[in-house]
Amino acid sequence: MTRKRQRLYFVVLGLLGFGVGAALVLTAFQDNIVFFFSPSEVTTRHLAPEQRFRVGGLVEAGSLVKNGEDISFSVTDLSSTLKVQYRGLLPDLFREGQGVIAEGRMEPGGVFIASEVLAKHDENYMPREVADALKKSGRWNEGGATQSGMPANNLKPTSTTPASPNTTNP
């Protein structure tokens, strides 16, 4: 009985210790684990000009300019905005107000030159009719819908985020 007790304590303590160790390591490498920076973080971090990184946010409404394959748009986290230039194919989900992650580097002029653009969508899934109904009833916020999928600094889910579609579905 005592040996079983001993082994039990050993397993529990071992797991606790290992869990704490993993938590410390993950906290220490926090900056390396985040997949992208928000535009506000880009301005506060003073990244080296040659450093490649990813910036994520929403495509600002009205900022998209397409000239053949040359594309420029602004990425915003609703408090800071970054101008992005890109040449290539955009993912199908790319549109104004949609979440986006661009990889590349800063040009001296403050423009982000992207070599890859990925679309980021949120976790709200619904049929078109429900989305239309939400928009009609004014409970829709295109930016807000994507915000909950954007855990960056200034993109915490707010009250403007549409309620879970379940609760509004007639």
User: What are the residues binding other proteins (CB under 8 A)?
Assistant: 4, 7-8, 11, 14-15, 18-19, 22, 26, 30, 33-38, 56, 90-94, 101, 116-132, 148-152, 164-167, 169
Cα separation of 58 and 6, whole Å?
Answer: 54
Residue (48 or 89) nearer to other proteins, CB:
89
Residue (37 or 112) nearer to other proteins, CB:
37
Cα separation of 105 and 97, whole Å?
Answer: 23
**Structure tokens given for 169:** 């579905």
Closest CB 45 distance from other proteins, rounded Å: 13
User: What's the residue count for the chain?
Assistant: 170
Closest CB 143 distance from other proteins, rounded Å: 14
Closest CB 108 distance from other proteins, rounded Å: 26
User: In the chain, what is the greatest distance between 2 CA atoms, to the nearest angstrom?
Assistant: 77
Residue type, 49: P
